Chain A
Amino acid sequence: MKKIYLILIALIGIMISCSEEFTDVDPIGSLSDTQLANPTGIDLLLTGAYSVLDAGRNGGIGNGWGRSADNWVADVASDDAHKGSTDGDQPDLYELELFNWQTGNGYFMARWEVLYAGVNRANAVINLIANSEDPSAFVVENAQARFLRGHYNFELKKLFGSVPNITEENAKNLDYNVANAGETLLTWADIEADFSHAMGNLPSVRTAAYSQAGRPLSSTAQAFLGKAQLFQSKWGEASANLEAVISTGIYGLHPSIVDNFRSETENGQEAMFAIQYSADDGQGFQGNATGALNYPAAFGWCCGFYQPTQDLVDAYQTENGLPMVDTFQASSALNHDYNIDSDAAFTVPSANVDPRLDFTVGRRGVDYNGYGLHAGKSWIRANFSDISGPYLPKKNIFQASDANNFMQGGWGQNLSGINYHIMRYADVLLMAAEAAVESGNLERGRTLVNQVRNRAKTMSWIADTNADIELYNAAWSSATDARKAVRFERRLELAMEGHRYFDLVRWGNMSSHMAAYIANESETITTFGKGQSFQDKHTYYPIPLSAIDLSGGKLVQNPGH
């Protein structure tokens, strides 16, 4: 019996002596900081920093659709697009479109968070390189991280106005919660500094070692620098940088605008910097998930959001091949099939249009990206009683012939591989044109605008389009006309690409502009007029209420909200 007792004590002794190792448990299958401190780790984190371009982040609060990587939500707040679907579907977005902005709206929070995720994933790369044995070995990686941070900060600045600047120092010290005022306010200078650094350190041409179209070149960074200056009305500097990009000769316009949205050509000569979406035959993690709602309610697709406005359609009317810059809202020649059922007779309006209309807006009776003639109401999820009208988006929708960009996810959502062009060359040309015009060089502006118009004129048009487009063959008579023409051209060329809202804010006078839009839209889509009005506070999204709550009051709300 004594023996058993002794064995027992011995066992206890063994158990105690094992305990040091026994309670030492390391994580499995995850990367520690030490494991990342090498070139592979830098590449992994840099890829992670690019990865947030598509707004796929870890965790997160707010409404997932609000992450809107391609800024489609901003188009909904502009005069280009309606939210789509029925009014009750996504009430946050309904509030957003009608300028009934509550600061707790989940769309604001979702976008805010994902952009800061991007800023700080870039910061993580910058810090990892700075702490490496030889930072000079990672100049290009560092420049890419700076470029990405510049981009994410640019988006924050455009959307939210007064936001905190989270530097790599903040990130290193886990000092993320800082005020959106004073020394920690994000300034245009901060954004320019990142783009300038990237411009100075990125490769200027593609090489075997730097071949992937998703990575920016030196000239890409310069174009973004020019765009940042344009947003500050620094016309001279903007013009110089944008013209320099043009003069590299690297870029050009595709034969057709639609080439920007097809898989074979989306990374062609017109591509400057894009979210590189790709479809696959698996789960579609690299597809456009935040745009998954934006497909017609036809073909078993989902979910009928993001419908172009009547006002946008009106803008494509032409007179002698030129846009009706001052009078398009007065004409109703393009009034369409709102309130007309699919089985009721309908004739496509015969008014002359800019051929880009039918590459931008799906209209009843006109071919829809190769899927046949748009059938009208039966393809529209929204009812006549909803605010969204009869049109469908096109640029974000795959062409029927482009199987490589097509995929559907688990619940039937489309996860398309169509790249979203954060900037394409036509945009560079039009920004350069604007900078030229604002700098008084109207002729240079006209030349650049005509380059863009010429492509629209010479491309193959959609059948049934009553296309009528000419170049600005005569010099503009005044700076005012020139400005109007350049600005109008931006809308025609870049509509439904997530730029419109920011352009309108930049150009000012937005409340009167939006009032005119709301009036025009309500004439046709009678249910749209809800008494909404754009006020000064809508120049920027509010700082999300949750962000203020969770900052313990360090963040202060934008004026007016």
Chain B
Amino acid sequence: MKNNFKTSILSLFTFLLSVGMYAQTVNGTVASEDGPLPGATVQVKGTDNGTSTDFDGNYSIEASSGDVLIVSFVGFATVEVTVGNQDQINVTLEMDSELEEIIVTGYRSQARGSITGSVATVEVADAIKVPVTNAAEILQGRVAGVTVVNNGQPGGAPIVRIRGYGTPNNNDPLFVIDGVQTTDAFVLNSINPNDIKDISVLKDGAAAIYGARASNGVILISTKTGKGTKGTKLSVDLSYGIQSAANLPTLLTAQQHGDMLWQSYANDGTPPSHIQYGSGSTPVVPNTIQGNTKGKTLNVNPNGTDWFDAIFDPAPVSNINVSLSNGSEDGNVYFSINHLKRDGIIIESGFERFGIRLNSDFNVTDNLRIGQTLNVSTEKERSHGSYTQEAMRMSPLIPLTATDGTYGGIYVTSNNLGNATSPFATHNRAADDYGKSTRIIGSVYAEIDITDNLSARTSINGSTRTFMNRVFDDYTPEGETNSGGALHEQVFNQYEWNWSTTVNWNKTIGDHAVDALLGYEAVKNYGKGHQMTRNQFLFDTTSFVLLSTGTGTPNVDYAYENWNTLVGSFVNASYSYKRKYLFTGSVRTDKTSRFSKDQQDDLFPSASLGWVIDKESFFNSSLINSLKLRVSYGEIGNQSLPAANPDVNISALSEGSAFYSFTGERGNVTTGAALTSVGNPNLTWETAVSRNIGLDFSMMDSKLAGSIDLFKNSTTDLIVRDNSVISTTAIDAGAPFVNKGEVENTGVDLQLNYGSETSSGLKYNFDFNVSSYKNEVVSLVNDTPAFGSNYREGAMTRTAVGYPISHFYGKPHDGLDSNGRLNFTDSNGDGIVNDSDRTIIGNPHPDFTFGFNTNLAYGNWDMSVFFNGSQGNDVYNWAKIFSEFPTFVHGGRTDAVLNSWTPQNTNTGQPALSMGVKNGETAPNSFFVEDGSFIRLKSLQLGYNFSSADLSSRGLGSVDSMRVYVSATNLFTITDYTGMDPEIAASDALTLGVDGGTYPAARIVSIGLNLNF
């Protein structure tokens, strides 16, 4: 055994094939109808003596006459062969249509057939056939009940929601990556999608095993281990693509812009007079910018500057992935390196990741396994936000650069050029800004079989991230103000670890099968960070600017250190009778540091039942092959809240809001403090009660399979700030968090799959999923509505009892009045149109979201077409207050204003132009609410697989398989939405669907190559 262990170590580091060390008595080959099967298991029945097949499907095992060999391989029916006196036994395995998928369900795996909760899995292999930069993209559109909104900005965190919005607080699911538990969605940026083996999503009470942190659902990600690969496998994936922007609004040309202003003057009855366009009867586009330009000459492009064209550029994305894996009876190893470089379609932005993964496990003895996973990645994000709104607001007269090569700009606000700062300048100046992150995610575990039925496992799983960024607000001499010259540097470190120990017992006695798990876990999350700012730099070159080279007083903008801890113990037991009646129950008790002593403990139970109807004797259908009914119930907690210590009063020293200069002398400041948050010692978890009823079925010779789930999730004891305690007449502290309020999500998830093959050999597979939820706030603190983030004219989202979380709230309008102004309606019927007429004017929650995936394979060719979409959601297109209204009158506009109301053009919904905002029209109102429904061709790809014969004939005999493909991502989007992208990444749960100028999703056309050696 020791010998074997050494061999394993050797094989790990040399990546050489580990050769079996047993004496040979029986040899043979294990194959399927397609050829040899490497990695199949051959075991002598009733002993620990086992091996697996090599690269060519060969095995050799010590066995005596009369022994029974068990030959098995995932996906194939197990075969038993009795050894006679022959020394050569070849076995051909057959595909097992009944064979069940093994699904990771939290602290353990279960066969699909024994699952009673709502657990979804993803065909990862399918999803990563196209270039995927973020693991969340794998989930997008492919799993019923899971919505993913990608952040178009490279390196941004995607927003993943399971079955709607259960809380006004954090709705992020719990991610469990090889046992590492985190709610930090940025973690998905650090994972190489090619390393992922399985993803499962716990959507219902099944998540209760994760207790206090799982009410938003759990996403379990396992990475590849090398198991099942006999011999060393080398796999290389290369892809290269070009990204470009799609669906950008059209901006006015210079002449159109002048005409727009002239129409505005005319509508206002004011004689036109404009520094740039003159004061004639028609605007004249000047050759150069007029007015005070601080000595610069700015030549006007006769057509005007297209500011979108200026900041959007096609950008490459490249991905290199090399992995090595090796599996043997001594253990498994998987090693990969990955480099992803994705430039942004907005100039001077991008994301780059370099990652290394090493996963290994060792069979130390027959009953002791030790293993680890380790992922080290470093990411560099270059972004300076998204200045698309500025691009819409820039006057088309301003050129990109002045004649001396410096940036074009307004120079002074009195030049009638609006007030936006050139996004071309902003992005270019930010070229040297970055955010860099290094993350280590890893786990070690030991697993021991104590008896045949009893095993124990302990693991320590952790993740640590170090982040630093640099943002230099450069001097902008051409802007509205002489701003800039401030360097901001942020640093933080965070880690989270858990130590989990479980004991597993399973036994089958006759028709009764029991599988029980007892576990104990300790969790710690920690964060510490700060940001510093310094200004007044003598030179603004990147090579000069450091925190130490400014001359202004350095400022610590913020600093924090906090952590929270949790210990949990849990039991989970499954029982099945004849594999027909299934029961799973779990109870978890958690103790958390997040609340005060008396409120730290709680119990989270769940139970689920399954009935495999097709196994009943009465079931006799030629149409339906399998049918299973599932019912589940679970209580799950949520302890995420935006405060570190919500149970006690906290006062803070704050330069901005509590210090005071009693003498008024420059720089002479006295330290002060103020209450910043009021504590509530009675605060405890939000509890989500999850109910699910589901049906799994397959029919038509299992060609059509699917599942449908109906659910009702009620989150009670919502953690919300009680603004009746800290009202608007109170001290300026955050109101205490209290457990009041309830949100209910009801809905349905449907997943259908139809796959078959024609007689001519065309394999086809259609996968369709649709999810729908209805979200309703059942109660709130004092039933008082809460509002979302404030924009320029206040908040346009409100959360109130009887409505979904975050709906659009403002004045409704009904077309235009006789002057072309928005005709606000008297919705409360009091005869006066004012702020009291504000009402619900839109709903950002979709009626349903869907995905439709088609896979085709014919001969060496394969093709897939994948659509996803959303139906019935509204978007508040706030950016229009700049691009269609005179918020900054001389700024740019989109071509939407060409259809504005004029006395001659009255058949329009676009309000009349004017030189100032009239009628309060930019305040929240229904004009800005648009239908955000869309269907997007998410990906389209065509691949060609070279056969091994073909490869051999081309002198590539060492290549096992090779696939080349072309693919297109986000090829087109069908939508009525007029903004850049109907997929809106919300800033928080109370501010859904507000578009303030997004970073639109890129269209990507790429080519790729997969090689397996």
* Contacts from A to B (Cβ < 8 Å): 1, 4-5, 8, 11-12, 15-16, 18-19, 22-33, 36, 41, 44-48, 50-54, 56-63, 85-89, 91-92, 94-95, 100, 102-104, 106, 109, 112-114, 116-117, 119-121, 123-124, 163-164, 166, 171, 174, 176-178, 212-215, 263, 266-267, 274, 276-283, 285-286, 297-304, 339, 341, 377-381, 383-386, 404-405, 408-413, 417, 419, 527, 544-547, 549-552, 555
Contact = CB atoms under 8 A, between A and B. Distances in A.
Given A47-B660, A121-B732, A408 B368 contact: no
Contacts of A545: 835-836
Nearest to A104: B835
Contacts of B655: 283, 285
Interface in B45-92: none
B481 A25 contact: no
A95 B920 contact: yes
A36 B367 CA distance: 59
Given A86-B890, A281-B667, 20 more contacts: A23-B567, A33-B651, A58-B732, A87-B886, A87-B889, A87-B915, A91-B917, A94-B917, A164-B729, A214-B660, A266-B664, A276-B663, A276-B664, A286-B660, A300-B477, A300-B481, A379-B414, A409-B483, A412-B481, A545-B835
Contacts of B660: 47-48, 50-51, 53-54, 214, 276, 286
B412 A5 contact: no
Interface in B246-302: 265, 268, 270, 273, 275, 291-292
A545 B811 CA distance: 14
Interface of B: 265, 268, 270, 273, 275, 291-292, 367-368, 412-414, 416, 419, 448, 450, 456, 458, 473, 476-477, 479-484, 486, 499, 501, 520, 522, 524, 533, 535-536, 551-555, 557, 559-567, 569, 591-593, 597, 600, 644-645, 648-676, 678, 723-734, 782-785, 787, 790, 793-795, 834-836, 838, 885-890, 915-917, 920, 922-923
Given A57-B657, A109-B728, A527-B270, A281 B481 contact: no
Given A29-B560, A276-B660, A303-B480, A383 B649 contact: no
A73 B235 CA distance: 68
Contacts, number: 402
Contact of B730 (A46, A176, A212, A413): A176
Given A124-B675, A282-B554, A552-B782, A87 B658 contact: no
Contacts of A412: 476, 479-484
A7 B60 CA distance: 37
Contacts of B671: 44, 47
Contacts of A16: 520, 567, 569
Given A56-B657, A378-B292, A31 B916 contact: no
A112 B368 contact: no
Contacts of A378: 291-292, 412, 414
Contact of B483 (A8, A41, A95, A408): A408
Contacts of A45: 651, 672-674
22 contacts: A15-B520, A30-B645, A36-B673, A44-B653, A47-B670, A50-B662, A52-B657, A56-B656, A58-B676, A61-B790, A174-B678, A174-B725, A176-B725, A214-B664, A276-B664, A302-B480, A378-B292, A404-B666, A410-B473, A547-B727, A550-B727, A550-B728
B424 to A, nearest CB: 18
Given A33-B649, A212-B663, A213-B664, A50 B414 contact: no
A410 to B, nearest CB: 5
Nearest to A33: B649
B915 A552 contact: no
A29 to B, nearest CB: 7
Nearest to B649: A33
A15 B521 CA distance: 8
A89 B520 contact: no
A16 B661 CA distance: 52
A74 B117 CA distance: 62
Given A31-B652, A86-B889, A278-B668, A26 B728 contact: no
A277 B664 contact: yes
Q: Which of A62, A410, A412 is packed against the most chain B CB atoms within 10 Å?
A: A412
A544 B728 contact: yes
B367 A1 contact: yes
B728 to A, nearest CB: 4
Given A25-B563, A278-B661, A408-B483, A102 B920 contact: yes
A16 B499 CA distance: 12
B666 A411 contact: no
B589 to A, nearest CB: 11
Contacts of A120: 730-732
A11 B501 contact: yes
B505 to A, nearest CB: 13
B651 A413 contact: no
A57 B823 CA distance: 38
Contact of A88 (B292, B651, B665, B885): B885
A213 B520 CA distance: 62
Contacts of A53: 660
B730 A88 contact: no
Given A23-B592, A58-B676, A544-B728, A279 B653 contact: no
B673 A44 contact: yes
Nearest to B886: A88
A285 B923 CA distance: 30
A524 to B, nearest CB: 15
